[in-house]
A and B are shown apart, each in its own frame.
Chain A
Amino acid sequence: MWNFVLSALRAAIPAGTPLLYGTLGEVTAERSGVLNLGVEGMMIVGAVTAFGVTHSTGNIWVGVAAAALMGGSLALVHAFASITLRVNQVISGLALTMLGLGLSGLAGRRYIGTPIGTRLVPLALPGLRDLPVVGSLFFRYDPLVYLAIILVPVLWFIMYKTRWGITLRSVGESPATADAAGINVFLVRYLAVFFGGMMAGVGGAYLSVVYAPAWIEGMTAGAGWIVIALTIFAMWDPVRALLGAYLFGGVRVLQYRLQPLGISPNLLNMLPFAFTILVLLISSGGVLRKRIGAPAALMQPYTREER
């Protein structure tokens, strides 16, 4: 039993890592006032890009960087539509997801069934990794897991303790005030959405080059949507994003570990999605009209003329 719990916990962290990247990105984008429902699409494009580039260069890091760039570029489509053209953010994000699913399917058709040929070596921190329990639980993951963990305090610090953070948050809370204070609202939003896309791309890359590692059409399988829910669950806070992502990683692990007990795999597949609804229910604040911590200008396009 103890071993079961330990190995489940150990597996939950890599399983939650793509979600963590995605959520950190979406938290940033939404903090600037732009909801991007295209995370699923950006993640899957990140996944196929990382796989393809890693496959041809033999270097995972080049693959991951390319995935970040592709995710970011795709996010710019949404940025242009929602910030400049002021279209409905819900529908535009949805369109981005469809676009990403189609693009990845088309681009990935030659990689189906292809082995990636290289793998990311777990960071072996000498001494630490051999500690009982703690060693296997905390010190035997690949570098991308640690990079995500490091990003959490970094992002938290930037968001709450620096000028950049204040700028970002003010644009999401009250764009007109920020504008009056001389902040370029449009630029900040573009950058935040671009960063969000990059993170989603890396999340997808983690799936295809480290976690799976393989290219499977539609392999994100709803992870991008869970990211959106996690952003709400995290109340737009990077630290809570970490907790949420690993919690969902745990749910995903449970889904596979419970299968041998004779529970239908189809019913177990419902688990993360049912859990998402539950999480939304908890974090939507019950009687409170307004979601706790939601940026006040979320989903509202900014126009100078209609100030």
Chain B
Amino acid sequence: MNVPLHVRIQKRLAIPRWLELSTAIFSLLLALAVIAVVFRALGVDPIVAYRKIFRGAFGSLYGLSETTVKAIPLILAGVGLCVAFRARVYNIGAEGQLLIGAISGTGLALAFPDLPAWLLLPGMFFVGFAGGALWASVPALLKARFHVDEVLSSLMMVYIASELVNYLVYGPWKGLSEMGFPYTDKFSASAQLPRLFRTRIHYPTLILGLAVAAVAYVLIHRTKWGFEIRVTGENPPAARYAGMDYLKTALLVMVFSGGLAGLAGVGEVAGIHYRLRYPQGVSPGYGFTAIIVAWLAHLNPLAVIVTALLIGGLLVGGDAIQVALGLPVATIHLFNGVILLFVLGGELFTRYRIRLEWRQE
């Protein structure tokens, strides 16, 4: 090639904060612009759609409360994924772990309806965490013992979990008072989480999520274990050289992130539905959306709170355009995919310095 002008890409040694933030915002705007073009091409007026999305999510107190409701599971699952992804352990199965958490919590609620709330609710969260962690431990152990790729195995476990929910709500757990719907019976009052005023915000789960985000932040940045996670993810050879056990770290972060997704599942059944329902009824893909939430936050657990609210708003807005414009549920995946791609692409501009240079001959 004899073009004198060429592109030079250099790795940045330090990434300035302002650059990180402005690239993220710019990527997001660019993504929204591309989606607008796609909308137009498929016969949907993008301006009408975006106005409905924004109004639906942030334009009223009700919208804001619903945005928060959707952010709760995203925070819990997203924080877990931050920790796992930091170690470059790709837990893609948070959706399944969330569902197993919901199953576990439901199991306890249905088995001991008469326990007092102060005992039953924490118990549900406990078994939910354990269930999610256990479900995640399958791909984790397969990876640690047999070197099975965790991306696929964790994902396959989502499909299995989803069918397990179906099996339960259509079969042995089918509610007697639900008139044929694939639901379990309604939980007793002591298995129902309190809500904030007249919204659907089940605040105990929200507080749990915020606390977990703070704990995870401290864990990653201030503890020896967090240091091992970061080194394992950023420089595997160095981690090995320092005698860090990669497989042990992988196992632990996987189980931890699975547990947090399980908590999100308990929050949904105990705070929103008061029963276990068919899988899409419990979670419209929170576990997958949490991947975007974590990535948008640059794998920073505290930033997850912000990105979860943002994406939560998008979900609420997505519901609004579904109803108003008759768009399919899958539309939201379009947003998820395009935003994720642009955020990923934008990272190049933060990690590298890109220059046009005249070649000296």
**Chain A residues engaging chain B, CB cutoff 8 angstroms:** 37, 41, 77, 81, 85-88, 90-92, 94-109, 217-218, 222, 225, 228-229, 232, 264, 266-267, 269-270, 273-274, 276-277, 280-281, 284-286, 288-289, 291, 303, 305-306
A-B contact count (CB 8 A): 155
Please report the total number of B residues contacting A with Cβ < 8 Å: 51
B19 CB within 8 Å of chain A: no
Contact A284 B348 (CB under 8 A): no
A284: B residues at CB distance < 8 A = 142, 146-149
Q: A94-B92, A106-B38, A277-B142 are in contact. List 7 more A-B contacts (CB 8 A).
A: A90-B151, A98-B340, A105-B329, A106-B331, A273-B163, A280-B153, A306-B11
Contact B163 A99 (CB under 8 A): no
* B164 partner, pick from A97, A101, A270, beta carbons under 8 A: A270
B208 CB within 8 Å of chain A: no
- Tell me whether chain B's interface is mostly helix, strand or loop, or mixed: helix
Give the distance in Å from the alpha carbon of A269 to the alpha carbon of B146 in the complex. 25
B155: A residues at CB distance < 8 A = 225
Min CB distance A24 to B, Å, is: 18
Kindly identify, within residues 129 to 156 of chain B, every residue whose CB is under 8 Å from any CB belonging to chain A: 142, 146-149, 151-153, 155-156
Give the distance in Å from the alpha carbon of A229 to the alpha carbon of B142 in the complex. 14
Contact A98 B333 (CB under 8 A): yes
B146: A residues at CB distance < 8 A = 281, 284, 286
A289: B residues at CB distance < 8 A = 147
Give the distance in Å from the alpha carbon of A95 to the alpha carbon of B148 in the complex. 22
**Chain B residues engaging chain A, CB cutoff 8 angstroms:** 8-11, 38-39, 42, 44, 90, 92, 142, 146-149, 151-153, 155-157, 159-160, 163-164, 166-167, 170-171, 288, 291, 295, 326-338, 340-341, 344-345, 347-348
> Which 6 A-B pairs give the minimum distances between C-beta atoms?
A105-B330, A102-B334, A99-B337, A98-B337, A102-B333, A95-B340
Residue of B nearest to A286 (CB): B146
Contact A280 B152 (CB under 8 A): yes
Contact A280 B142 (CB under 8 A): yes
* A277 partner, pick from B10, B156, B332, beta carbons under 8 A: B156
Give the distance in Å from the alpha carbon of A106 to the alpha carbon of B333 in the complex. 10
Give the distance in Å from the alpha carbon of A222 to the alpha carbon of B8 in the complex. 40
* A81 partner, pick from B8, B330, B344, beta carbons under 8 A: B344
B9: A residues at CB distance < 8 A = 303, 305
* B341 partner, pick from A96, A264, A277, A286, beta carbons under 8 A: A96
Contact A81 B345 (CB under 8 A): yes
Contact A102 B149 (CB under 8 A): no
Central interface residue in A99, A285, A305, A306, by most chain B CB within 10 Å:
A99
B326: A residues at CB distance < 8 A = 109
Contact A77 B341 (CB under 8 A): yes
Min CB distance A89 to B, Å, is: 10
Give the distance in Å from the alpha carbon of A25 to the alpha carbon of B155 in the complex. 21
B338: A residues at CB distance < 8 A = 95, 99
Residue of A nearest to B344 (CB): A87
Give the distance in Å from the alpha carbon of A280 to the alpha carbon of B149 in the complex. 8
18 residue pairs from A and B, CB less than 8 Å apart = A81-B344, A87-B345, A88-B344, A91-B291, A98-B288, A100-B337, A101-B333, A103-B334, A106-B42, A106-B44, A217-B329, A266-B167, A273-B156, A277-B156, A277-B157, A280-B142, A284-B149, A288-B147
B345: A residues at CB distance < 8 A = 81, 85, 87
Give the distance in Å from the alpha carbon of A101 to the alpha carbon of B329 in the complex. 10
Min CB distance A279 to B, Å, is: 10
Give the distance in Å from the alpha carbon of A8 to the alpha carbon of B139 in the complex. 31
Central interface residue in B9, B295, B329, B330, by most chain A CB within 10 Å:
B330
Min CB distance A218 to B, Å, is: 7
